[in-house]
Amino acid sequence: MRRIDLADAAFLLAEKRETPMHVGGVSLYTLPKGVDVQDFVGELTLGSLMAEDFREPFGEYVATGRAGAMGPLYWEKDAHIDMDYHVRHSALPKPGRYRELFALVSRLHSTLLDRNRPLWEIHLIEGLQNRQLAVYMKMHHAAIDGVASMQLAQSVSSTDPDFRAYDLPMSQAAYERHLAAMGARKPRRVIPKERELRAVAEALKQQFDSSTHVLGALRRFGGAFFGRSGNLAVPWHNVPRTSINTRVGGARRFVAQSWDFDRIQAVCRAIDGTVNDVVLAMCSGALRRYLMGHHELPKHSLKAMAPVSLREKGDFAAGNAVGFITADLATNIEDPETRIRTIQESMRAGKELLQGLSPREAMIFMQLTQLPALLTTVLGLAAQFPAFSTVISNVPGPREQLFWNGAALNGIYPASIVFDGFAMNITLVSYAKSLDFGIVACRRSLPEIQRMIDYLEDALVELEEVAGLRVRSSKRTATKKSAPRKKSPRTGAQAKRASGKKIPKKDAGATKPKSIPKAKRKGRASKSTATKKPGL
């Protein structure tokens, strides 16, 4: 047995029926010309994998030690993995639109993983239009973080459409192949000369440095509660109560959409900002519109937990290496230009807090500052004392077009976690020429979450106007917006001109990526259509 460290075990301890703690997402593929979906799925010899073929911890289940449930948790090897349980084949009902796909993924994302088995599932979903195949995969957050999950997806993919690898991303073979492709090697233990003296000296130096840096960060973190840390935002401080910050049920709602990366980068260049700045401003504008539509925009600004990777370069291990920055979303500011500048200042202050820390020191700091949030979650108090308003996570993904056994990967749409006090999660992945957003929300607490897709587009257009990239509309008044504007249904070409998104050909085969279409707006809850457009 291998002991599960505290950062990973926290996700297991916080889990209950209403708050599943798995992450995952939908990968959308277009099959090569002339390949039947049944033949494609049948060629995946998934049943041939044995327990010893899996990389840690995907061939293991969660076990307890002598102390039982009150003691530490361990990974125990599963000698009898039932592949028919972990890898499942589903088909959508006709007409096979993204609406039906989202409904199925919403149900699949609502159910707990079985702790008596390795904590992952893969669902191969056929029945989509335009020769597309969807793969929904979920893994417990105790086993993996966002960056590691991207490495997992890349381990079975290639930039070469002729490459074939009929194994799972959780397999040891896929892991070693990915290590070789990246030029990485498994870490080896190095024993220094004059071991005793050098080890003692290094340990003392590291402990002294860590103590100094971490204590300095903690002082500034604590000073923010008393207004002594400038633009630094911290958990719990002036976090308003909205319908997002409630107790959640077990049912989930999943929606997704792609935006052209070029549009985001154009705004970045114009305002001298980062992709994260623009993404947070998009989410801020969308959340502001959503809350105004439900007549509950609070006086204080929403605060977002923005995870940051603490994974060192060349680290390809599973598990978690993640911290967070608290971002002030400035949702209480009407002017979009002032709003994004406030977001930039907040993010800059958060990054400065971590700049003087090594990855190890940052991990210590994060564990100390996240401990209260963990305790409120375990004690069931997160809804009464929310540390944040929501979670917005930007996961860097592959920037080149990938293929899986000849099928073109069109998009990667993440599905993350919501729990008591945080009923909505917005996660996005940068892939090829797009940013792929996945939004997960509590179905009971947050109605009409599909409107967020329209609101994100409106917020991006607003930023483009601020940046001088398009003519500002005199009709655009965010203060009066409470519902989507009524518009007649658009044709594919009209939608492309209005949103700047790509629209693929009828059969892009394995040459051009597709995305899930932009939802049509009809003055009611927006719904994804089956229009042939790229991205989710």
Residues belonging to the active site: 141
Q: From CA 518, how far away is CA 221, in angstroms rounded?
A: 40
In 3D space, the residue among 105, 443, 501, 508 whose CA is nearest the CA of residue 248 turns out to be 443
| Beta-sheet pairing, 303-309 with 390-396 | parallel
Sorted by sequence, the CB contacts under 8 Å of residue 57 that are 6+ apart come out as 2, 75, 118, 119, 143, 318, 319
Which residues touch 39 (CB under 8 Å, ≥6 apart)? Answer: none
Q: Is 327 exposed, middle or buried (0-12, 13-18, 19+ CB in 10 A)?
A: buried
The pair of three-digit structure tokens given for residue 331, joined into one six-digit string: 């949702």
Residue type, 101: L
Q: Are 32 and 134 in contact (CB under 8 A)?
A: no
Q: Are 122 and 168 in contact (CB under 8 A)?
A: yes
Amino acid type, 381: L
Compute the distance between CA of residue 85 and CA of residue 120 in angstroms, rounded to an integer.
Answer: 10
| Dihedral sign of CA atoms 476, 478, 481, 483 in order | positive
CB neighbours (10 Å) of residue 399? 11
Half-sphere exposure of 154 (CA within 13 A, CB side): 22
- What does DSSP assign to residue 34? T
Of 88, 89, 151, 91, nearest in space to 114 by CA: 88
